[in-house]
Structure 1
Amino acid sequence: MKSYVSSFLKLFVILLFPVLLYANGFQINEQGAKALGMGGAFVAQADDPSAVYFNPAGITQLERMQLSLGFSPIHPYATFESDSTGQSTDAKDKTFYIPNFYATLQTTDKIWVGLGVFSNFGLATEWPDNWKGRYIVGGTKAEVVTLTINPNIAYKINDKLSIAAGIDIQRMDVTLENKIWQGFHGVGVEDANSELKGTDDWAYGWNVALHYKITENWKFGMSYRSKIKHEFKDGTHNLDHLFTGTTYIDYQRTGSTNIKGVAQ
């Protein structure tokens, strides 16, 4: 009997205090104050200018021209604990201020246009120069910065149903820094610094959306954004403090960086 009571209490606690688990990585969904306050459940609501991001078909609910400008402060943190030594290492504290801008305009009784300028994929991690993972590519710094320009057009089929489509024009910068072990040259040889940098790569995607008003209080929304593939053809690879056996040198190579990535 005691075990049944214990199991019931555990189940009660789980249901009463749900835990939210986010696995977005570098994805940024904090694109509007109202949507953020609703925990991101805004695709069906979609009744302010940030609908350009969440569900552009919803902008047919907005009259005349409307504008929205804001930013979201994000302060991520991470701790690494070594299995072999038990030592803990904290990532460096950083705060990011992610801006967003949205504009919508009703052009006819059936057609609306919207424009979004935002960053929905990015952020960075930085770790101390002496931590255990410093030799991994991006081990001391991994930074992704994007800017997306997203024009949309929405069509109101009737008073209940609207559809929309748009294109995503995205710029991306990537920086990956790590240490290079040079201990094979002898005791006392310091680590070299590696920086792999790709900048100003432009890539393109698309998005489609649907909004349906079931009743005045119940709405249904669907929104899809395609993947955006980036491939940096030009960039730089800097090697600082590289030991040649007799002295330390700095080296820079410019050309193909062979960095490929997908943002969505």
Structure 2
Amino acid sequence: MKKHFLALGLAAALLAPQAAGAEGFAINEWSAEGVAMGGARMFAEDDAANVAYNPASITKVKGEAMKNSATYLSPHGSYKADLVADPTKPEYGKNVVHAGWAVGSYYVKQINDKEWFGIGAFPRFAMVSEFERSSKVSSNAFFSKLNGVSVTPTYAHKFDKKWSAAVGAEINYVGLELQKNVNTTLLGGGNGTTQIEGESYALGWNAAANYTFDEKNEIGVVYRSRITHSLEADLKGYGVGVGGADVFGNAYGVVTLPDSWSIGYNHKFDKKTRVELNATRTNWSTYDALNVYFDRPLVDIPGRPAIGAATSKSESAKNWSNGWRYAIGVEHNLSDKYAVMAGFAYDESSIPFDGGDFLVPTGNRRTYSLGARYNDKKQTVAVALGWMDVGSLDFKGHTGDAFTKAHTYDSFTKIASISYQRKF
């Protein structure tokens, strides 16, 4: 039964579509309890999802545990775009609601009094956004999707009553799809659509440590490495070639997912109530550009190599800045079997005016959440609800866009999550 449980959970995590849920395209919704506590979930007792939140805390799992979680995210938002053709008549629109799931699966086994092994499959990076194909902002992007899953085998060691540490590998998968409208008529081509779709696997690592001051106070730190993907993709250009011809080829690019540091503090007021504080710094400066190069030009006119060179690539500077995420979570045990949780998180926007786009049109975010948990000796079930105020964002249009600048507003994400854990 354990093997079937784990296989089912890993398959669900690897196959589920994902949705953006936090700063940039980072995901923090890895379990219902984590959602309920705003992501401040680094010191949970007997929770297999510690593999994701804080690998050093898998030493708090007694025996053997498996856990599956599913989080539903539904983003909403509006925009105003000042158009190149007529700045006095801006375009107003909304994103096409494209809900997704963040799925996690975890397994932890206590080897002996000093050693633990854990493995998780969960999304660290993902996003999805869609706008009307006939809108002017579609020159920037009308459909963008990044599916991501990290598989993290982890080893943890408990040195004494105060110190524990962990180290793990990360096998990271990304699947990327970008679609936008392209007008190449001034270069001798047509007015059509490009689609870039590809996937990549890359390796990273993580490390964590916990220190217990006394029975009420604990501190921990987690580092996750940056991961560089060399992405190979299919290029499909519909109606963009000479005379409106379709163009098919290959595309490639390099995308570096950022490294991050998390530090957390846990305080137990008594046996029933505790509070966690968490701060995460993500080095988004690694996202300095989104450059994609084609093995053949969209517009290829004999004797005009300059035009071919100009349409053999899609370059866009981003120059994001490093950012912080702050979270606080409270957990209160009503009895031996029932508990309630609440949380709040604040994400700084790392997107500059000249580096924003309709792929990830988010500003400063505030997330409010609550949840409940039932547990007995063998099973744990938790549910959570959250509401994220995504904030507004201003950014300018890039070369080839039909707008000079854009403003997103009234943006929010509805969140619902459920988790189930079984101990053996």
Q: TM-score per shorter chain, which class? A: 0.7 to 0.9
Q: CA deviation at 1:161?
A: 1.2
Q: CA deviation at 1:235?
A: 1.8
Q: CA deviation at 1:67?
A: 0.9
Q: Deviations over 1:174-220 (max 9, x none)?
A: 1111111145499xx97311011222x11011100011222223221
- Contact 1:121–1:263 (CA under 8 A) maintained in structure 2: no
Residue 237 of structure 1: aligned partner:
235
Q: CA deviation at 1:34?
A: 1.3
CA gap of 1:116–1:160, structure 2 versus 1, over 3 A, is same
Letter of the structure 2 residue corresponding to residue 257 of structure 1: Y
Residue 192 of structure 1: aligned partner:
192
- Contact 1:77–1:91 (CA under 8 A) maintained in structure 2: yes
Q: CA deviation at 1:26?
A: 1.2
Is structure 2 residue 175 aligned with structure 1 residue 173?
Answer: yes
State how 1:43-82 maps to structure 2 within 5 Å: 43-45=42-44, 47-82=46-81
- Contact 1:155–1:164 (CA under 8 A) maintained in structure 2: yes
For residue 252 of structure 1, give the secondary structure of its aligned residue in structure 2: strand
- Contact 1:63–1:106 (CA under 8 A) maintained in structure 2: yes
Residue 273 of structure 2: aligned partner:
none
TM-score by length of 2: 0.52
Residue 87 of structure 1: aligned partner:
91
State how 1:129-144 maps to structure 2 within 5 Å: 129-136=133-140, 139-144=141-146
- Contact 1:116–1:150 (CA under 8 A) maintained in structure 2: yes
Q: Deviations over 1:107-149 (max 9, x none)?
A: 011000000001121121111112222222xx11111111111
TM-score by length of 1: 0.82
Residue 262 of structure 1: aligned partner:
257
- Contact 2:54–2:208 (CA under 8 A) maintained in structure 1: yes
Residue 202 of structure 2: aligned partner:
203
CA gap of 1:190–1:251, structure 2 versus 1, over 3 A, is closer
- Contact 2:241–2:247 (CA under 8 A) maintained in structure 1: no
**RMSD of aligned residue pairs (Cα, Å):** 2.1
Letter of the structure 2 residue corresponding to residue 149 of structure 1: V
Q: CA deviation at 1:263?
A: 5.0
Distance of 2:150 and 2:106 partners within structure 1? 12
Residue 150 of structure 1: aligned partner:
152
- Contact 2:46–2:62 (CA under 8 A) maintained in structure 1: no
Worse-superposed segment, 146-155 or 82-91? 82-91
Q: Deviations over 1:82-128 (max 9, x none)?
A: 24324321111111011100110000110000000011211211111
Q: CA deviation at 1:168?
A: 0.5
- Contact 2:91–2:136 (CA under 8 A) maintained in structure 1: no
Distance of 1:185 and 1:153 partners within structure 2? 57
Distance of 1:62 and 1:116 partners within structure 2? 14
CA gap of 1:26–1:46, structure 2 versus 1, over 3 A, is farther
For residue 34 of structure 2, give the secondary structure of its aligned residue in structure 1: helix
Is structure 2 residue 126 aligned with structure 1 residue 122?
Answer: yes
The sequence identity of aligned pairs, in percent, is: 25
Residue 221 of structure 1: aligned partner:
220
Letter of the structure 2 residue corresponding to residue 192 of structure 1: G
Worse-superposed segment, 83-92 or 69-78? 83-92
CA gap of 1:46–1:196, structure 2 versus 1, over 3 A, is farther
Q: CA deviation at 1:66?
A: 0.6
- Contact 1:103–1:116 (CA under 8 A) maintained in structure 2: yes
- Name the one with the larger strand percent: 2
